[in-house]
Every structure is written in structure tokens, then in C-alpha cells.
């Protein structure tokens, strides 16, 4: 029995010397610098070793550093010192908790099972309870734009409905009244121009010729009839324009007016300035009366087509 004891002791010594990279007496000797490592911090794991005599550091080449999904390893070195050897691993972790480093092979020895504790920036008790996301803020003026658009659409629909029902009558009447006011304004301008020409010494016959032609053209535009080729009596029976005879000055004003005007033009006698001025005054009175009637006429009456009244009376 005693002879077997030296052999057992030798076997134990050989087994201990064959252990890869024997750590210090227990795992508690390993530590990190700094002591507390947070996510993203760069730190160094120091593992004291025994049984690695010699001098000089041995490092893993940068291109051969092992890969880990949660840990970036920047440097692995076996540092040999007279006071004792140690394994130094520089790393940066990107996940909290206990992380295991991949196996490290240095100087023919493999170090595995090394772990580091990574702390979170926020402790569990310090993690805030986030409130629900706030509702998106509306751009200033959005409400006005939305409600204004809705109001514009509603008003447009009402206008379309109104036009589809009775709007065409009103529009036609408005256009007819506008056209009549425009023609009256133009004819009154002719009357003023002829009056000034007569006052400056223009030939009365030429003034009456211009007055007759312009007035006939004006009546043709109002009634839709070819008044330029009508005689005085035919124009006197003209009823195509609303209120043209009944409310005009003198009742049968048109017939008597063109009788006087054409009589003076074609009589062959000399025409006095006073006689011409009186004819111009009569024209002015008629135009003013037509202007007042046109202003007071309702849209429905203004919308009547030229010649309608004359056709009805002729029937």
C-alpha cells in the first residue's frame, strides 16, 4: 500500500499540470475594470492565472479575435509577470445580464466558460412607465381650412340647385338688363356728342342724319328688328321692346319722332339749329325714360327675348 502512494501523487501532479490555463484558486478572483460595466462601455476582464511561467505578453492577432453576437472583443492577451500571469480581455458588451465570452485560444491554451456581468443603464426600479403617445397636433389653420371647404361645397351645391331650378331665368334676365343698360349708355353718349357738335357749328342736316342712323341702330339692338330699313310709320307700330310705346314720352313717340326727323332731312329746306336741338331734346327725354324703365324692370321681364311682345300682340 505504501509503495502505491508515490505513484498516485505523481498522477495527480501530472493531471493538474495538464489542465488548460488553470485559473486562480477560485473563479472569484476574476474581475473587470471598471468593477461595474454598463451596456456599451469598454472594459477589461482580468483573470489571474497560475502555472504560466515565463516572460513577455502573448496576444491574439486582431484578425483572429473570436466573434460573439452580444460582445465586441477588442484585445486578448496573456500577460506574464514575475508576480504572476493573467489573462486580459478588452471588450464592449451590448446586452445586459450575464454574458459568456467565446472560447479564447492563447499560446496554445484554450480559455472557455469566462463570463461577465453587464449592468443596464437603468435599474429595473428606475425604468419609467411611459404614457401613451400623444395625439398628433393639427397644423394651425387646419380647422378653418376644413370647415371653410365644407361651407364652400355646401354653398356651391345650393347655387347649382338654384341655377338648375330658376337660376337660368335670373341669369338670362340679368344679362338682358346689362345689355340694355350698355346700349342705353352708348346711345346717350351719341346724343351728347351730337349736341356738342351742333353747338360748335356743325351742319344741322348732318347732325340729323347721324342721329337717325344711330337711333335706328339702337332700336334694332333692343327689338331684334331691322329698324334701319323701316319707315317712320313702321317704327311707330314697333312693339318688340317691352314698354317701348306705352310708357315712352308722347305715346306714339317713335312714329312722330322719325316723321319730324325724316321730314326735316328730306324736305329740301334749310334746317334751323333750334329745330335740330328740339329733336335732340326729344331723343334725350326718351332715353332717360327708357333708362328708368329698364332699371325698374324685373329680371323675368328683362329676360324676354326681343320680339316676343310684338309677336304676341300681332297674334
Give me the DSSP letters along the chain.
Answer: -TTHHHHHHHHHHHHHHHSTT-BSSSGGG-EEESSSEETT-EEEEEEEESS--SSS-EE--GGG----SSEEEEEEEEE--TT-EEEEEEEEE-S-EEEEPPPEEETTEEE---EEEEE-SS-GGG---PPPPPPPPPPTTHHHHHHHHHHHHHHHHHHHHHIIIIIHHHHHHHHHHHHHHHHHHHHHHHHHHHHHHHHTT--HHHHHHHHHHHHHHHHHHHHSS-GGG--HHHHHT---STTTTTSSTTSSHHHHHHHHHHHHHHS-S---HHHHHHHHHHHHHHHHHHHHHHHHS-HHHHTSPTTHHHHHHH-
Q: From CA 70, how far away is CA 93, in angstroms rounded?
A: 6
List C-alpha distances in Å: 166 to 160, 163, 178, 303.
10, 6, 19, 12
List the end-to-end C-alpha distance of the chain, in Å, as a whole number: 157
Contacts of 15 (CB under 8 A, 6+ apart): none
pLDDT at 153: 95
Instruction: Give the pLDDT mean for 184-205.
Output: 91
The single residue listed with the C-alpha cell 513577455 is: 56
Instruction: Using the predicted structure, report yes or no on whether residue 193 has a pLDDT greater than 90.
Output: yes
Instruction: Using the predicted structure, report yes or no on whether residue 131 has a pLDDT greater than 50.
Output: yes
Model confidence at 104, pLDDT cuts 50, 70, 90, reads: confident
Model confidence at 224, pLDDT cuts 50, 70, 90, reads: confident
pLDDT top residue among 121 and 65: 65
pLDDT top residue among 73 and 127: 73
Instruction: Give the pLDDT mean for 289-304.
Output: 64
Q: What percent of the chain has pLDDT over 90?
A: 12
pLDDT at 55: 66
Model confidence at 125, pLDDT cuts 50, 70, 90, reads: low
pLDDT at 123: 58
| Gyration radius of the chain's alpha carbons | 58
Which cell is 159 given? 347655387
pLDDT at 2: 45
Instruction: Give the pLDDT mean for 112-127.
Output: 75
Mean of the per-residue pLDDT values for the chain? 76
Q: Is the distance from CB of 124 to CB of 89 less than 8 angstroms?
A: no
Q: Is the distance from CB of 261 to CB of 211 less than 8 angstroms?
A: yes
Q: What is the pTM of this model?
A: 0.42
Instruction: Give the pLDDT mean for 279-290.
Output: 89
CA angle 56, 60, 63 (to 5 degrees): 145
Closest among 234, 262, 231, 247 to 293, alpha carbons compared: 247
Instruction: Give the pLDDT mean for 207-213.
Output: 90
Amino acid at each position: 500500500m505504501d509503495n502505491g502512494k508515490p505513484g498516485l501523487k505523481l498522477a495527480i501532479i501530472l493531471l493538474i499540470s495538464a489542465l488548460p490555463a488553470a485559473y486562480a484558486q477560485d473563479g472569484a478572483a476574476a474581475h473587470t475594470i471598471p468593477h461595474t460595466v454598463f451596456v456599451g462601455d469598454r472594459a477589461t476582464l482580468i483573470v489571474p492565472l497560475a502555472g504560466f511561467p515565463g516572460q513577455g505578453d502573448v496576444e491574439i492577432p486582431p484578425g483572429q479575435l473570436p466573434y460573439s453576437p452580444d460582445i465586441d472583443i477588442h484585445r486578448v492577451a496573456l500577460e506574464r509577470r514575475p508576480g504572476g500571469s493573467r489573462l486580459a480581455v478588452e471588450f464592449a458588451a451590448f446586452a445586459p445580464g450575464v454574458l459568456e465570452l467565446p472560447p479564447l485560444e492563447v499560446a496554445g491554451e484554450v480559455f472557455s466558460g469566462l463570463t461577465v456581468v453587464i449592468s443596464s443603464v437603468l435599474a429595473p426600479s428606475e425604468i419609467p412607465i411611459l404614457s401613451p403617445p400623444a395625439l398628433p397636433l393639427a397644423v394651425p389653420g387646419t380647422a378653418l381650412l376644413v370647415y371653410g371647404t365644407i361651407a364652400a361645397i355646401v354653398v356651391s351645391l345650393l347655387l347649382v340647385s338654384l341655377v338648375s331650378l330658376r337660376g337660368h331665368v335670373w341669369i338670362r334676365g340679368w344679362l338682358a338688363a346689362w345689355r340694355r343698360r350698355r346700349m342705353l349708355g352708348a346711345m346717350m353718349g351719341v346724343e351728347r356728342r351730337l349736341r356738342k357738335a351742333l353747338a360748335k357749328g356743325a351742319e344741322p342736316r348732318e347732325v340729323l342724319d347721324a342721329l337717325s342712323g344711330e337711333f335706328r341702330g339702337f332700336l334694332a339692338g333692343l327689338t331684334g328688328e331691322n329698324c334701319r330699313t323701316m319707315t317712320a310709320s313702321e317704327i311707330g307700330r314697333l312693339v318688340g321692346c317691352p314698354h317701348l310705346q306705352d310708357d315712352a314720352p308722347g305715346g306714339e313717340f317713335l312714329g312722330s319722332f322719325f316723321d319730324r326727323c325724316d321730314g326735316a332731312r328730306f324736305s329740301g329746306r334749310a334746317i334751323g339749329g333750334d329745330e335740330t336741338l328740339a329733336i335732340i331734346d326729344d331723343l334725350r327725354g326718351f332715353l332717360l325714360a327708357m333708362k328708368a324703365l329698364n332699371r325698374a324692370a324685373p329680371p323675368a321681364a328683362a329676360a324676354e327675348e326681343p320680339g316676343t311682345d310684338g309677336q304676341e300682340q300681332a297674334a
